[in-house]
């Protein structure tokens, strides 16, 4: 995947642009009046209707994005620039931006699933997606099966005649287990099902799921893509007909519209996405090796480490290994208290994808009660990655030497 190029048109000339350039130029529209290069923020909710626009067609409108801008809940100039840039980054025809990452997941589920349909979902994935799938969708007559996506035989066995969608995540949050995306996509397509991939932890810098066979790729833009911890957002990218269907249903009727201000902030973050993620990945590799050798640490999981049980898969479908590390200690709650009180550079806090390093303990018993509710072999598989509790470390842009010194002094009793 490294160095792959994607098509983009600039100034009427068809050129092949690489992802690093598309992070800056994809969907960029120069203001015709001011010649401003930075995207404008269009805060207007309403736009004038002009005779000749498609809005006056007696046949109605099948694609809101084909029209001039009408109403900000449907389309907005700033949000549309963001959508075009995201589509370019993922090699997609189009993208829908939403108010949050979970809104993008809900939009996907509620567009392609109806009563009587069946969803296969990763048994470990973002908590909002997992709980939406397993607790809310069944109330609407949608059948849901949660499987370990790293076990292809279990994925294959889960398909039913009414399976319509397979939703996976790679790496999965929080335990960093990987999914063989081409293999899962092949299985799904054999059964006539779509595949959606939450690629929030990987970002387009590491993995582009559409190129690996997925139909839709989802991101919480709040995390690494924005990268500054100051704007909520989400997106789903894919083929034109799929995104148009999501937009016409969820985009219009569910009301999870992304604000123009947040779209602008997220585009600002995308400008530096590639150098940020590459720097973070380099730092993460050094931190993972440091933690591996630290006397207070009993286990480290990072896709870039040869000890990761799916390291070969990581090398095949990740250009960089990302900014997420997990580690375990012998006394997780005591360690959590030390980290919360002694960290000076990193921060003890929830969430991830910030420019500042963030670490938090995710207690296994609590995660089973609050979200995953795994039993038997699924619980054993989870504990193989997380033990009694796993520390999720989201690596930021600080000096790696400062982070090492900070973690070292906080981990030592």
Question: Per residue in 367-395, pLDDT tens?
Answer: 999 999 999 999 999 999 999 999 999 99
Give pLDDT, residue 13. Answer: 37
Name residue, tokens 């076990």. Answer: 151
Residue 341, helix vs strand vs coil: helix
Q: What Rg do the C-alpha atoms of the chain give, in angstroms?
A: 22
Give pLDDT, residue 14. Answer: 39
Helix (H) or strand (E) run with residue 7 in it: strand 6-10
Which residues, given as ranges, of the chain have pLDDT below 50? 1-14
Give pLDDT, residue 66. Answer: 65
Q: Count CB atoms within 10 A of the CB of residue 380.
A: 10
Residue 169's DSSP bridge partners are 198
Alpha-helical runs (H) found in 92-227: 101-112, 127-131, 152-158, 181-190, 203-206
DSSP 291: H
The pair of structure tokens assigned to 111 is: 């567009």
**Cis, bond preceding 171 (omega within 30 deg of 0):** yes
Relative to beta strand 194-198, strand 163-169 is parallel
Alpha-carbon dihedral of residues 404, 406, 412, 413, nearest 10 degrees?
-170
Helix (H) or strand (E) run with residue 16 in it: strand 13-17
**Cis, bond preceding 174 (omega within 30 deg of 0):** yes
Give the Cα separation of 288 and 404 in Å (integer): 10
CA 250 to chain centre: 19
Name residue, tokens 């990218």. Answer: 237
Relative to beta strand 389-394, strand 216-220 is unpaired
Give pLDDT, residue 54. Answer: 58
Q: Specify burial of residue 120 (Cβ count, 10 A radius: 0-12, 13-18, 19+).
A: buried
Sketch out the chain's domains with CATH numbers: 19-268 (3.40.640.10), 273-412 (3.90.1150.10)
Give pLDDT, residue 228. Answer: 95
Give pLDDT, residue 63. Answer: 61
Helix (H) or strand (E) run with residue 120 in it: strand 118-122
Give pLDDT, residue 27. Answer: 80
DSSP 174: T
DSSP 198: E
- CA-to-CA separations, 213 to 129, 143, 160, 253, 316, in angstroms, rounded: 21, 24, 21, 29, 14
Name residue, tokens 């590639």. Answer: 274
Give the Cα separation of 303 and 309 in Å (integer): 8
Residues listed for the chain:
413
User: Cβ distance 305 to 266 under 8 Å?
Assistant: no
- pTM score, whole prediction: 0.90
pLDDT per residue as tens digits for the range 93-146:
999 999 999 999 999 999 999 999 999 999 999 999 999 999 999 999 999 999
């Amino acid at each position: 995947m490294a160095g792959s190029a994607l098509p983009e048109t600039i100034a009427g000339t068809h050129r092949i642009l690489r992802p690093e350039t598309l992070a800056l130029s994809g969907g960029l529209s120069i203001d015709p009046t001011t010649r401003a290069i930075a995207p404008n923020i269009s805060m207007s909710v309403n736009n004038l209707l002009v005779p000749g626009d498609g809005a006056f067609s007696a046949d109605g409108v099948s694609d809101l994005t084909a029209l001039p801008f009408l109403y900000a809940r449907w389309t907005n100039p700033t949000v549309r620039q963001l959508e075009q840039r995201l589509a370019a980054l993922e090699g997609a025809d189009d993208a829908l931006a939403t108010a949050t990452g979970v809104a993008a997941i809900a939009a996907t589920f509620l567009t392609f699933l109806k009563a009587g349909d069946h969803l296969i979902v990763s048994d470990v994935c973002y908590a909002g997606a997992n709980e939406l799938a397993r607790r809310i969708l069944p109330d609407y007559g949608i059948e849901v099966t949660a499987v370990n996506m790293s076990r292809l035989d279990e994925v294959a066995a889960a398909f039913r005649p009414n399976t319509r969608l397979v939703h996976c995540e790679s790496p999965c949050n929080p335990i960093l287990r990987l999914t063989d995306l081409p293999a899962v996509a092949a299985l799904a397509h054999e059964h006539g099902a779509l595949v959606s991939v939450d690629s929030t932890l990987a970002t387009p810098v590491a993995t582009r799921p559409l190129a690996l066979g997925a139909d839709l790729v989802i991101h919480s833009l709040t995390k690494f893509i924005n990268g500054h911890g100051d704007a909520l957002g989400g997106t789903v990218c894919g083929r034109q007909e799929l995104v148009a269907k999501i937009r016409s249903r969820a985009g219009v009727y569910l009301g999870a519209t992304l604000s123009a201000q947040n779209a602008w902030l997220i585009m600002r973050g995308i400008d530096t996405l590639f150098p940020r993620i590459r720097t973070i990945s380099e730092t993460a590799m050094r931190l993972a090796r440091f933690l591996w050798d630290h006397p207070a640490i009993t286990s480290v999981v990072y896709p870039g480490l040869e000890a990761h049980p799916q390291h070969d898969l990581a090398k095949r479908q990740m250009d960089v290994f990302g900014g997420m590390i997990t580690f375990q200690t012998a006394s997780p709650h005591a360690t959590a208290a030390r980290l919360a009180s002694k960290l000076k550079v990193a921060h003890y806090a929830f969430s991830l994808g910030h420019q500042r390093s963030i670490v938090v303990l995710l207690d296994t018993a609590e995660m089973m009660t609050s979200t995953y509710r795994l039993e038997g072999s699924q619980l054993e598989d989870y504990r193989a990655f997380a033990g009694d509790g796993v520390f999720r470390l989201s690596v930021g842009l600080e000096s790696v030497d400062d982070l090492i010194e900070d973690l070292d002094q906080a981990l030592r009793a």
